[in-house]
């Protein structure tokens, strides 16, 4: 099956290109494919930034071109990209994906800044080549004053960094970041919801009470 796909790779690319041009697609997505030996099928599609470090040489080269085209469609004069990453800084696998995403965007000709909550791996983040902006985001916080401070912090960061595109990953960055981007008059926003969030996944009583 893999060999048949490889042989028809150009035909597959042409078919995808013919359909993509007429549709507004997410900035990126990852797809899980399972091969049973009898057939191959897509079993999951995810907007979460994962799998970039699994791209082959040809996939990385293609992704640079696709990323440049996608960014310029959203911000024709864009140069600076700000990524608001959720606080998985203890997860080195997640860091590797974000690092590869940053490299792809840089190779596409843009400047990239990453903002995230720094816990154990601040030095690791900067040593990997990130321009890092620490933020006070807490995934589990339900303190209204703390949440308000985070929103104000984002507005301040956006007005300081002045990105042409800000990319939010996960529920809180999407909710607060979208408001902050509106207040700071950011030209373009790309949101990626990586799931339903703590309120919908937790079995705790307080989470159940807060669900809409």
Torsion of CA 24, 14, 97, 165, to 10 degrees: -30
Is residue 211 within 8 A of residue 142, CB to CB? The reply is no
Give the pLDDT band of residue 122 (cuts 50, 70, 90). Answer: low
Residue 145 tokens, joined: 């004053």
With vertex at residue 164, the alpha carbon angle to CA 159 and CA 168, rounded to the nearest 5 degrees, is 80
36-45 pLDDT, tens digit per residue, is 777 778 777 7
Question: What confidence score (pLDDT) does residue 15 get?
Answer: 87
pLDDT above 90: percentage of residues in the chain? 18
Residue 57 tokens, joined: 């040489």
Give the pLDDT band of residue 61 (cuts 50, 70, 90). Answer: confident
152-177 pLDDT, tens digit per residue, is 999 999 999 999 999 988 788 888 99
Question: What confidence score (pLDDT) does residue 20 get?
Answer: 75
Give the pLDDT band of residue 183 (cuts 50, 70, 90). Answer: very high
Give the pLDDT band of residue 114 (cuts 50, 70, 90). Answer: confident
Residues in the chain: 212
Pairing assessment for the beta strands 165-169 and 132-134 based on DSSP bridges: unpaired
Question: What confidence score (pLDDT) does residue 184 get?
Answer: 95
Torsion of CA 140, 143, 144, 150, to 10 degrees: -60
Mean pLDDT of the chain: 80
Task: Indicate whether 206 pLDDT > 90.
Answer: no
Query: 102 or 90, which is more confident?
Result: 102
Give the pLDDT band of residue 19 (cuts 50, 70, 90). Answer: confident
Give the pLDDT band of residue 137 (cuts 50, 70, 90). Answer: confident
């Amino acid at each position: 099956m893999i060999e048949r796909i490889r042989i028809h790779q150009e035909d597959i690319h042409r078919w995808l290109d013919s359909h993509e041009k007429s549709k507004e697609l997410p900035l990126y997505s990852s797809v899980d494919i399972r091969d049973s030996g009898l057939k191959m099928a897509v079993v999951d599609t995810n907007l979460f930034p994962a799998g970039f470090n699994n791209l082959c040489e040809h996939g990385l080269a293609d992704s640079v071109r696709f990323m440049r085209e996608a960014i310029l469609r959203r911000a024709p004069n864009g140069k600076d990209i700000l990524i608001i990453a959720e606080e998985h800084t203890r997860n080195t696998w997640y860091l590797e994906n974000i690092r590869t995403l940053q490299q792809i965007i840089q190779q596409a000709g843009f400047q990239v800044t990453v903002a995230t909550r720094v816990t154990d791996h601040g030095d690791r983040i900067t040593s990997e080549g990130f321009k890092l902006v620490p933020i006070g985001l807490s995934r589990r916080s339900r303190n209204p004053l703390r949440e308000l401070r985070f929103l104000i912090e984002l507005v301040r960061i956006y007005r300081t960094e002045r990105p042409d595109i800000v990319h939010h990953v996960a529920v809180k960055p999407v909710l607060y970041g979208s408001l902050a981007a509106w207040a700071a008059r950011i030209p373009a926003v790309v949101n990626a919801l990586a799931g339903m969030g703590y309120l919908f996944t937790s079995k705790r009583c307080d989470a159940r009470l807060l669900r809409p």
